[in-house]
Structure 1
Amino acid sequence: MNSNIEPSDHNVAAAQALLKNDRLPFHRKITYGFTDMSGNLLYCIIGSYMLYFFTNVFGLSVGTAGSLLLLGRVIDAIGAPVMGVLVDHTHSKYGKSRPWFLWMSLPFAIFVWLLFTTPALGSTAKIIYAGGMYIFAELSYTAMSTPITSVLPNLTANSDDRMSANSIRLVLGNVGNFFAVTFIMPLASAVGHGNDQRGWSIAVGIYALVAFIFLLIGFLDMREKNIEKDEIITIKESFKATRGNWPWMIIVAANLIYWTAYSARNAALPYYFQYNLSDKSLISFFNGFSIIQIIGMASVPFFCKFLHKWGTTVFMLALTMIGQVWIGLAGSNVTSALIGWCIACIGAGSACTMFFAMVGDTVDFGEWKSGIRANGLLTAMGASFCIQMGAGIGSFIAAKIMAAFGFSAAKAAQTTGTMNAISFTFIWVPVIIYAVSLILMVIYRKWEHHEPIVTEDLAERRAQLQSKNAN
């Protein structure tokens, strides 16, 4: 342990009292969840309908639209660690992460609304407008989503409260996702009265206003702790928190692999139901049932009491793999496939919850090891970066496998080899990749067992610091 503080009975008692009293009120867990709910309320519209909007409403060619989406994804992935460093350099009376909700809530809402608004421009100008608004919307979301994760370690030092708050956050995030992907198109049709461009602009504007209000509520109720108000760490110091931080490295690798598997599955899903099961309506039907993962997310704190965090993650990843295999064995039996899908969704949603929670614990380890508390960089790399890069890699894997077996959307019917490749990508590729993430989480067990030492030592340092400041 790198510390100049000598433990004493007084410091130990003060540290234990500090941990006992550092609890997060239930109402603050709910308002913390408002941040993710608001983000998903808008960002999931982008993730689910951006390509459709660009081609069928905005009026771009599919090739141009695809290029713009690729550019935005790359910039967003690069922006995640940059945003993390910015959070670490933030010095505000509101804290380090919390002020970003105040600063970025309005730009985020406006950029997303402008993204789904079609101006009367020429063809070239429309492309520039669409690309610019998409990049601004992506970057403003990164500026929102990074603090959502980085603020958690500073809301409370209590690990159980962090786990509970994170579970509530992801449950409410799924509520936002559900409303985004389920009701935005019917609302746009209702308010547009036959004018899709007008309808989408009004509908997304309504969603943007709701998201903005809930983001402000989350900001107003937050209180950051465990930070030095006068401390601004350098970029070099931020990266110093990664040195020897093995639990962080494991979580980043496991989470990146998780999102790679998850994205490969989602990329292949439409093709599987359209070609292998010959029913396009099943695409939205199965996606709608993904809301069931809330059940798993809400149960995570209960499982952690018995299986600990690493064991809960391993169990949920195994459950996801079982669900995937179930779908494969179900074949054309839709009812059986739906059961497997629900099992897989519950497992995947719960595993996702665990990764977001554990990356916060690695911030404590980094501070214990190096003396540097780099919330922004560590959580940005452990969350936002993993999501963006995993999505890119997973989609790339799916596309390459299907291309290798001759898939072409122009074909009226796909060959047996192509459909086998689609099935393999949708069902078995995720199973293989999830297994790697599972193995990494078994290795993580060692570091979770070390967490009580880290927590107590950090509490002793803070107790001694409070004593010095009082004197």
Structure 2
Amino acid sequence: MTEDSGRPDERLCATEKVGYGVGDMAANLYLGFFGLFTLYFLTDVYGVAPAAVATMLLLTKIINAITDPAIGLLADRTRSRWGRYRPYLLWCALPYGLTAILVFAGPDLSDNGKLIYAYVVYLLAMLGYSLVNVPYSALLAVISPSASERTKATQYRFIFAGLGTLVVGATARPLVDWLGAGDEARGFFWASILFGVAAVTLTWITFATTRERTAPQAAQASGVKDDLRALFSNVSWVVLSIGGVLLVVGLGTRLGSLALYLKYFMTAGPADVAGPVFLWMDRFSVFITLGVIGQILGTLSAPSLTRRFGKIRLMIGMNAIHGVLLIAGFFLTADQFAPALVLHGLGMMTFGVALTLLFAMFTDCVQFGEWRTGRNTAGLTVSSSLFILKLGSGLGAAIPGYILASTGFAANAEQSAQTLSGLRIITWIAPGFLLLGAAACMTLYKLDPTLLHRIEQDLRKMRQEGRGGGAAEPVLPGKA
């Protein structure tokens, strides 16, 4: 059964879909810069030991992840003339941009001072990101009651997310070189300013162009314990979160090590990295750019593929194909840059589909929770999902540093065979098996199109009658 396309008053206009989408472009200008360059900047530019950076990335992500459900609970209970979630895009955008700049400021400190500084500013940056991104993600669940319209909004979101990552991948490294004029630390600082200003501006555009269509019911009074109990009894949300963790750990491990893999394995040594290989882009920029183009193509194809295969089967298939492609990449030699580029591009196409489905399916879990309990806890559901995913991204960011430290990595030097082997494992093998695990996990997900259609119809009737959700003893195709 196809998903309901929604009534006219539930449909999103083009301006709103684009406006919602650019919010994730802002996030990817911001977080994309962190994801691609934090490990590189702190080890090769700022001079912090890889193992210390790995621990810092993991601990700060864990601390920050704990704050996400609190932000979600706060947002669920926020009432303003702008709604529950949109106000945070207005209020928190400026600190969100400012904290990003501090991470790449690189003040001249002692070794211990550099590490303490990295802990403080990275934690602040991730908190600033959460204060914007948790409400932004929750906004998707209330932007329309229609699952079809939410999927369309998700598609726009990840098209623009891909464009944001494309901009970072294609321009960040050249900008660092140009703005730094030989001083890499200075280049990273000024580049972070440009990306921070752009992220703030785009976030304000999202605030100005979107609205919340699903208002909280008057009877929706519940305690935090009740909300959490309802969330963790939603087995499909639990399954989706576990699968999402495996996906994010895999991609985080891969992307966090990619710059180092290209620098030390796919060249004869560090000196071979400099200089463009296509237009203004060096090898790393070309790699990231093609990957993002693949991700955008995957995002564009997600709706048509979903109509043909359904969300569940498509999610399983995309993760499985991606895992196989990554494992195949492990067997490439150092001079096979073009085949590595092709495997990366194809893998990111599958990732574009999977990521679009992941966030659309999280909002389906929100609708299921409202249908079953009568409470729309979009902020808690999405923030708890982000909590799980951030734990995954923390592990993904930390794993490369630990493995490199254990293999004797030395910055800006020729690497041992053991170190190069470790780079190959964390770039290809480890993420490949994690994605296969994500595919296996998704076989347990239960919210199929038939059930979602029933949920939409029931919730629409309940809202028209002016009462909360809470289907009486819902009959499910297996426990959802």
Which band: TM-score by shorter chain? 0.7 to 0.9
TM norm structure 1: 0.84
Residue 6 of structure 1 corresponds to which residue in structure 2?
none
Residue 324 of structure 1 corresponds to which residue in structure 2?
326
Written as runs of structure 1 = structure 2, the 5 A alignment for 1:117-156 is: 117=105, 129-156=117-144
Residue 93 of structure 1 corresponds to which residue in structure 2?
81
Unaligned runs of 5+ in 2: 274-282, 469-480
User: Which protein is bigger by CA-based radius of gyration?
Assistant: 1
Written as runs of structure 1 = structure 2, the 5 A alignment for 1:205-354 is: 205-228=193-216, 231=220, 233-270=222-259, 272-273=261-262, 276-279=265-268, 281=273, 282-292=283-293, 293-328=295-330, 330-331=332-333, 333-354=336-357
Residue 8 of structure 1 corresponds to which residue in structure 2?
none
Tell me the alpha carbon deviations over residues 74-111 of structure 1, each in whole angstroms, 9 at most, x when there is no partner.
Answer: 22222222222222222222111111101111111122
- How big is the shift at 1:198? 5.3
SS class of match (1:226): coil
SS class of match (2:439): helix
Matched AA of 1:104: C
Written as runs of structure 1 = structure 2, the 5 A alignment for 1:450-461 is: 450-461=451-462
Distance 1:60 1:334 in 2: 29
Matched AA of 1:212: V
Tell me the alpha carbon deviations over residues 144-194 of structure 1, each in whole angstroms, 9 at most, x when there is no partner.
Answer: 111221110100111121111111111111211222243234334444556
Tell me the alpha carbon deviations over residues 195-225 of structure 1, each in whole angstroms, 9 at most, x when there is no partner.
Answer: 6665544443333222222211110111102
Matched AA of 1:141: Y
1:362 aligns with 2:391: no
Written as runs of structure 1 = structure 2, the 5 A alignment for 1:181-220 is: 181-192=169-180, 199-220=187-208
SS class of match (1:151): helix
Select 1:170's aligned residue among 141, 150, 158.
158
* Percent pairwise identity: 26
Residues 318-327 or 267-276, more deviating? 267-276
> Alpha carbons of 1:441 and 1:269: their partners in 2 closer, same or farther (altered >3 Å)?
same
Distance 2:181 2:121 in 1: 25
Matched AA of 1:112: A
Unaligned runs of 5+ in 1: 1-15
Tell me the alpha carbon deviations over residues 290-339 of structure 1, each in whole angstroms, 9 at most, x when there is no partner.
Answer: 11211111111111111111122123223312422442455453333322
Tell me the alpha carbon deviations over residues 128-157 of structure 1, each in whole angstroms, 9 at most, x when there is no partner.
Answer: 555433221110101111122111010011
RMSD of equivalent CA atoms: 3.2
Residue 427 of structure 1 corresponds to which residue in structure 2?
428
Tell me the alpha carbon deviations over residues 360-390 of structure 1, each in whole angstroms, 9 at most, x when there is no partner.
Answer: 11000011111121111111122x2233211
Residue 12 of structure 1 corresponds to which residue in structure 2?
none
The answer on whether the counterparts of 2:10 and 2:144 sit within 8 Å (CA) in structure 1 is yes
Aligned length: 448
> Alpha carbons of 1:112 and 1:247: their partners in 2 closer, same or farther (altered >3 Å)?
same
Query: More helix per residue: 1 or 2?
Result: 1
Residue 277 of structure 2 corresponds to which residue in structure 1?
none
Matched AA of 2:340: A
- How big is the shift at 1:283? 4.5
> Alpha carbons of 1:239 and 1:283: their partners in 2 closer, same or farther (altered >3 Å)?
same
The answer on whether the counterparts of 1:318 and 1:347 sit within 8 Å (CA) in structure 2 is no
